[in-house]
């Protein structure tokens, strides 16, 4: 390379956007959630791989399809060079009348996840329909998750709690109380930047506050809409979440783990789940500077 060409090359590199200066040393590992495909998990596996992501999160629909043959799912993911980062195990009910059944259900999901080569089991709580949750519910949820997490850990499967809109763990103060009531040895946090924002919190500040509990992250965005429920999940960069600030905070705390991009459903009429994933991929690479 001539000196002029070399200078030009260095100048171009120096002026390149963040997208072109990927941080290969980042511990943040992007993945993608299959939820956008609305249960068509085989299509999600194929298209997430084609878009370029190297890991994915599956829902309980994968258990419905492959529960009796986890080795087949494991082979399918290996063929697509996809890590099975997280399984969404569904809601964990704190009704004492069904707690034993609830534990059995989620433990069956944990065994499936382990046998399919997966890593983290995610649970969301279910808000009581007959009362406003308070300290008693926070304590009961924390204790139940701790017991579940103790059992899944014995299987080699770490449990993560996903705070969520319309759940007990919607507002920041409830999340604080639930985490305080759960055993950190058995219950990690799946921190969702958009659910936390929509629930009334500052996700950038929360990342720093929860740095010792966060095991997985959902990279997600949300915007206000006029129709019920008043908000809509959108592709990264289209909403009001400071996604870049959240990733900067993750870097600051030295987070090393899965950051799963999640979009519940396609936003624009006529668009496909794969096209939406491509938009999210471009934002992850070009705007966040993360390597897939």
Alpha-helical runs (H) found in 116-265: 135-155, 172-181, 193-198, 203-209, 243-252
Q: Residues 6 or more apart from 193 whose CB is under 8 A from it?
A: 203, 207, 217, 218, 219, 220, 241, 243, 246
Residue 124 confidence (pLDDT) above 50: yes
Task: Enter the pTM of the model.
Answer: 0.91
pLDDT tens for each residue of 144-196? 999 999 999 999 999 999 999 999 999 999 999 999 999 999 999 999 999 99
Which pLDDT score is estimated for 26?
81
Write down the domain spans for the chain. 22-287
Which pLDDT score is estimated for 8?
39
Q: Which CATH superfamily is domain 22-287 in?
A: Divalent-metal-dependent TIM barrel enzymes (3.20.20.150)
What SS3 state is found at 46?
Answer: helix
Mean pLDDT of the chain: 93
Look up residue 56 and give its DSSP letter: E
Which pLDDT score is estimated for 25?
52
Alpha-helical runs (H) found in 91-134: 99-115
pLDDT tens for each residue of 259-277? 999 999 999 999 999 999 9
CA–CA separation, 155 and 149 (whole Å) = 10
Which pLDDT score is estimated for 9?
37
End-to-end C-alpha distance for the chain, whole angstroms: 30
Residue 233 confidence (pLDDT) above 80: yes
Residue 67 confidence (pLDDT) above 90: yes
pLDDT tens for each residue of 21-38? 444 458 999 999 999 999
Which pLDDT score is estimated for 13?
41
What integer is the mean pLDDT of 211-235?
A: 98
Q: Residues 6 or more apart from 264 whose CB is under 8 A from it?
A: 35, 36, 233
Q: Are strands 231-234 and 221-224 parallel, antiparallel or unpaired?
A: antiparallel
User: How would residue 84 be classed by pLDDT, with cut points 50, 70 and 90?
Assistant: very high
Residue 217 confidence (pLDDT) above 60: yes
């Amino acid at each position: 390379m001539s000196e002029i060409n070399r200078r030009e090359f260095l100048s171009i590199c120096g002026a390149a956007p963040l997208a072109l200066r990927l941080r290969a040393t980042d511990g943040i590992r992007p993945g993608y959630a299959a939820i956008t495909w609305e249960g068509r998990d085989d299509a999600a596996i194929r298209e997430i791989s084609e878009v370029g992501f190297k890991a994915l999160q599956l829902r309980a629909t994968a258990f419905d399809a492959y529960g009796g043959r986890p080795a087949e799912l494991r082979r399918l993911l290996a063929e697509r060079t996809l890590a099975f980062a997280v399984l969404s195990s569904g809601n964990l009910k704190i009704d004492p009348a069904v707690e034993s059944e609830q534990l059995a259900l989620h433990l069956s999901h944990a065994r499936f996840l382990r046998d399919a080569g997966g890593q983290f089991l995610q649970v969301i709580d279910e808000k009581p329909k007959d009362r406003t949750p308070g300290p008693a519910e926070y304590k009961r949820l924390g204790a139940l998750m701790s017991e579940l997490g103790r059992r899944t850990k014995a299987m080699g499967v770490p449990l993560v709690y996903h705070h969520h809109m319309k759940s007990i763990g919607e507002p920041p103060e409830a999340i604080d109380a639930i985490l305080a009531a759960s055993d950190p040895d058995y219950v990690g946090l799946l921190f969702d930047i958009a659910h936390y924002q929509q629930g009334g919190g500052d996700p950038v500040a929360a990342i720093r506050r929860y740095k010792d509990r966060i095991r997985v992250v959902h990279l997600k965005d949300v915007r206000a809409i006029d129709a019920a429920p008043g908000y809509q999940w959108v592709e990264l960069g289209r909403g009001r979440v400071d996604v870049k600030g959240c990733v900067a905070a993750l870097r600051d705390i030295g987070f090393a783990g899965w950051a799963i991009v999640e979009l519940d459903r396609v936003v624009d009429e006529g668009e496909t789940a794969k096209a939406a994933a491509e938009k999210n991929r471009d934002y992850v690479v070009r705007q966040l500077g993360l390597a897939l």
